[in-house]
Amino acid sequence: MDAAIELDGLRRAYGDRVALRDVSITVPAGETLVVLGPNGAGKTTLLRVLATLLRPSAGNAAVLGCELPRSAWRLRGRLGYLGHDPLLYRDLTVAENLRFHARLHGLEADADTRATSLLDHVGMGRRRDELVRNLSAGMAQRVAVCRTLLHEPELLLLDEPHAHLDPEAADLVEPLLGPAAGRTRVVVTHDPQRGLAAADRALVLGHGGAVAYRGPAREISPADLRGIYGGEPA
Amino acid sequence: MSAGEPSAREPTPARRAFAAILAKDLRVELRTLESIPAMALFSVATFILFRYGLDRTSLDGSLAAGVLLATLLFAAVLAINRLFVAELEQGGFDAIRLAPVDGSALFAAKAAALVVYLLALELVAVPAFAFFFLDSWAGLGPLCLVLVLVDLGLAATGTLISSMAINSRARDLLVPLILLPLLVPLMIAAAGAAQPLLAAGGPGYEDFGQWLGVLTLYDAIFALVAYAVYDFVLED
């Protein structure tokens, strides 16, 4: 099976502070990688590097067969990135935001139909004409899920995708974002049980961005899990 | 690492991306009225200050050109400072970088939005200036051509500098500090072209074509520089 993600000695630093240190892992296409670790371990940095929003400082990285950062432009439009920020304009309505993203991705007229279908799926169909600034954080997150999926990406990069969502909303988005959708996924989460249950592989980052565990998700031990959140931030 | 690289997703045509970003910016401005009313109020208030500060009810020549152009320039800085705030605070930069869109489409759309803001400002500011200071309005027609060329230069340079400074906490300070020196040639040429148009005895046209040529050259140089470097400016 082709590798969707290949990282070899990946490092990312912000000035003197190292956020990711010697990260190496391969994720075959169609599989899910869950990324665990305490606050400040570099999980979001890893996701932003994979999304081409940050350049690696050293090491090799290839995503969907494209070397980073050299061929980052080839990845544009092929990734679905759901980060801490919903990437929605507060002074546009839900529908206007999705239409804007559809036009950025060069989608044709049927994008409106697809946007409507996604909004209905996450229970936001009746809010399509509301300004995003009037939505709660959970509602904005549901719209952000639609924005992430609108252009039918090959690879999903999800940073705490259930943040702000109540259990009912989490159940609504799960069929869209979950492993059943069949896409390659990288999921950053602070919920190890839920994350590991839906993952094929796990990457655990410790303080300072060093790899504490990498391997099959089902083989991660309770001791590994307990050790994840211990210690002081680097 | 993988041996062969797959082909990229079809890029969004630059014209389409440009239209999408420009339409979004204009819609947000119409809805929030964050930039244009502030620029217009600033310019009218500045004309009032000049009127009573200089204790003159009429201006002409170089003084008239200086008052008008300096006021428009500082009003433009207000909008230039805010040009990328929404992209920074609401994730627009990330959204655009994740889409198959060339950076130059973002530059062109932002510059075009700034030109629209400046034209809207001038619809208010130039009649106000004429009302406060001009005995004859005959030079205003050709002055519009000068102002359009000034707007293009302000938009090209301002968009480039604003996007470079946006990630800095001191952007409100950095933009004028970097931008104003770069605009000196533009202001010299604009004043050279406007001064005879606002002369006391009616508009004159000495060296008018030459100054328009300098303005056009300035606009072209900064537009080309911005186009060439803009993808690098957007990198982290």
The model's pLDDT over A36-58, given as tens digits with 9 standing for 90+, comes to 998 888 999 999 999 999 999 99
Which percentage of chain A shows pLDDT scores above 70? 97
For residue B31, give every residue at least 6 positions away whose Cβ sits within 8 Å of its Cβ, in sequence order, or none: A91
Question: What confidence score (pLDDT) does residue A74 get?
Answer: 87
Position A61 in a domain: yes
pLDDT in tens, B130-183: 999 999 899 999 999 999 999 999 999 999 999 988 878 888 899 999 999 999
What is the overall mean pLDDT for chain B?
92
Q: What is the mean pLDDT of residues A114-143?
A: 96
- Name the residue among B9, B12, B235 with its Cβ closest to that of A78: B9
Q: Which of A190-194, A201-205, B3-7 has the lowest mean pLDDT?
A: B3-7
Q: How confident is the model at residue A148 (pLDDT cuts 50, 70, 90)?
A: very high
Residue B7 has pLDDT above 70, yes or no: no
The predicted pLDDT at position B2 comes to 44
**A111 found inside a domain:** no
Instruction: Please give the Cα distance from B167 to B88 (Å, whole number).
Output: 8
**A76-90, B81-95, B115-129, B176-190 — which is least confidently predicted?**
B81-95
Answer whether residue A221 shows pLDDT above 80.
Answer: no
In this structure, are residues A147 and A101 in contact, taking their beta carbons and an 8 Å threshold?
yes
B24 pLDDT higher than 60: yes
| d(C-alpha B40, C-alpha B133), whole Å | 17
Put simply, the answer to whether A54 touches B236 (Cβ < 8 Å) is yes
How large is the average pLDDT for residues A30-37? Answer: 94
Q: Is the pLDDT of residue A142 over 80?
A: yes
Average pLDDT on B98-125 reads: 95
Total number of domains constituting chain A: 1
For B27, which of A65, A87, A96 is closest by C-beta distance? A96
Tell me, what's the pLDDT at B3? 44
Give first-to-last CA distance, chain A, whole Å.
Answer: 37
> Which of B16, B31, B32, B98 to mutate against chain A (most A CBs within 10 Å)?
B98
Q: What are phi and psi of A51, to 5 degrees?
A: -80, 0
- Chain A: give the shortest CA distance to residue B96, in Å: 7
Rounded to an integer, the average pLDDT of B90-104 is: 89
Residue A234 has pLDDT above 70, yes or no: no
d(CA B101, CA B154): 24
**Structural domain contains residue A93:** no
- CATH code of the domain containing A40: 3.40.50.300
Residue A49, domain extent: 1-78+157-170+186-234
The amino acid present at A144, given as its one-letter code, is A
The pLDDT score that the predictor gives to residue B68 is 97
Residues 62-81 (A) with a CB less than 8 A from some CB of B: 62, 64-67, 71, 73-79, 81
Question: Residue B205 has what pLDDT?
Answer: 87
DSSP B9: P
